[in-house]
Amino acid sequence: MRVLGRYTFAIAILVVLLVANLVMNPARFHPAAWGTLLGMAAPLIGAALASTPVILAGRGGIDISVGPVMALVSAVVIKVLYLDHGLSSPLILWPAALLIGALIGAFNGFMAVIVRVQPIVATLGTYLILGGLTLTILPAPVGPAPDWLKAMAGGWSFLPLGVIGLLWWGLSRTPFHDQLMAVGSDDRAAYTAGVPVSLVRFLAYVITGMLAAAAGMMLTALIGSADPKVGANYTLIAIAAVALGGVSLAGGKGGLLGAAIGAFDIFLLQSLLTAFNVSTYVLQVAYGAILVTAVVLIAFQDRGTKRSHA
């Protein structure tokens, strides 16, 4: 129940925005179009999910290379594997994407946990390297994506997000999840209690990398091609979605469900304001205002909980 408490605000916005969208734009929100709708929201949801594990792991944990990972995965899968080498089977492309994500995640984890460079700087380095690498592989957008991948932005859009949800649910039954939350809340206490703090944090980076790769696949599915410039923009908005979904940037509080709801809130807001035909400038003010209001309200809520426990 207390976990749900952190999501209260995100869910409240979700309900309000959903109703408003249904009234304003019934055709787009018709049940028959839900697959396409989720497909449009999927890259942002994926990016928000990806940003969450390292943030949960605490001590300044953050991965700003999530967006560039998405762009690199898109470039390698479409340009190098599909168009240059004719590999089109999902059984090759998905594992390849996840492997890229896992390797980059492992590199970030190595830099942040073993070399002990501050996470925002370590992943900033990766952000710049991956951005340059992507532009070298793919100077201009190319396409198209294989048909099965494009279908993942339509009727099959539930599949990748559903699999991630199931896997995370499974993971949350294992001791790893408890250790992750313990490390994020108080790494010194976790360490003295025998939790392998460094290993848990390292794995959080690997999971983040793999989720970012999955988000890259969803982005490729949505735009039906590979574009080197689109991915990087997801980084900051994904972190905003995570905060909106009640995940504490100090670590140890929140979960993937909250991040997904936060991301869907931002998507619905975008969709509603587009229906009103307002400019992207207004959209940006609305993003910022909702984000600040949400974190302020969550902070007040946290205060209330603390007092009632004291």
Partner 1 sequence: MSRYLTGMKARIIGAFLVAALLHLIGTVLIPGYSAPFAIRALLVIAALLAVASVGQTLVVILGGIDLSIPFIIGFANVTAAQLYGQGWHFGLVCLVVFGLAILIGALNGALSRGLNIHPLIVTLGIGMIVQGLVLIWTKGFPTGSAPKAVSSFVSIGGSFGPLPVPALIPALLVMTLLIVLVLERTPWGRRLYALGANPGAAPYALINPLWVWTSTFAASAFFAALAGILLLGFTGSAYGDVGQPYLFQTIAAVVVGGAALVGGRGSYIGTLAGVLVLTEINTLLIGLNFSPASVQAAFGAIILLLVSLYGRERHFRTTV
Name the E strands within 25-111. none
Closest contact distance (angstroms) between CB of 78 and partner 1 is: 18
Of the candidates 239, 207, 186, which has an alpha carbon nearest to the alpha carbon of residue 108? Answer: 207
Report the residue number, 138 or 218, with the smaller CB distance to partner 1: 138
For tokens 């380095």, what's the residue?
A: 125
Closest contact distance (angstroms) between CB of 163 and partner 1 is: 29
Of the candidates 234, 217, 99, which has an alpha carbon nearest to the alpha carbon of residue 161? Answer: 217
Closest contact distance (angstroms) between CB of 118 and partner 1 is: 5
Q: Binding to partner 1 by residue 199, rule CB under 8 A? A: no
Residues with Cβ < 8 Å from 1, sequence gap 6 or more?
none
Q: Binding to partner 1 by residue 193, rule CB under 8 A? A: no
Closest contact distance (angstroms) between CB of 264 and partner 1 is: 18
- Per DSSP, 146 falls in state -
- Token digits of residue 308: 């009632």
Handedness of CA 124, 126, 128, 134 (dihedral sign): negative
Q: Binding to partner 1 by residue 281, rule CB under 8 A? A: yes
Q: Binding to partner 1 by residue 284, rule CB under 8 A? A: yes
Per-residue string for binding with partner 1, 69-108, x by CB under 8 A? Answer: ----------------------------------------
Report the residue number, 15 or 281, with the smaller CB distance to partner 1: 281
- Give the residue, chosen from 95, 163, 250, 304, that forms a contact with partner 1 under the rule CB under 8 A: 250
Closest contact distance (angstroms) between CB of 241 and partner 1 is: 11
3-state secondary structure (DSSP) of residue 28: coil
Note whether 58 and 230 are within 8 A (CB). no
Report the residue number, 26 or 304, with the smaller CB distance to partner 1: 304
Per-residue string for binding with partner 1, 101-140, x by CB under 8 A? Answer: ----------x---xxxx-xxx-xxxxxxxxxxxxx--x-
Angle between helical axes of 256-275 and 2-24 (0-180°, round to 10): 20
Between CA 182 and CA 57 the distance in angstroms is: 8
Give Cα 200 to chain centroid, integer Å.
Answer: 19
Report the residue number, 4 or 114, with the smaller CB distance to partner 1: 114
- Token digits of residue 114: 């073993």
> What residue ranges bind partner 1 (CB under 8 A)?
59-60, 62, 111, 115-118, 120-122, 124-136, 139, 187-188, 191-192, 197, 236, 239-240, 243, 248-250, 279, 281-289, 291-292, 295-296, 298-300, 302-303
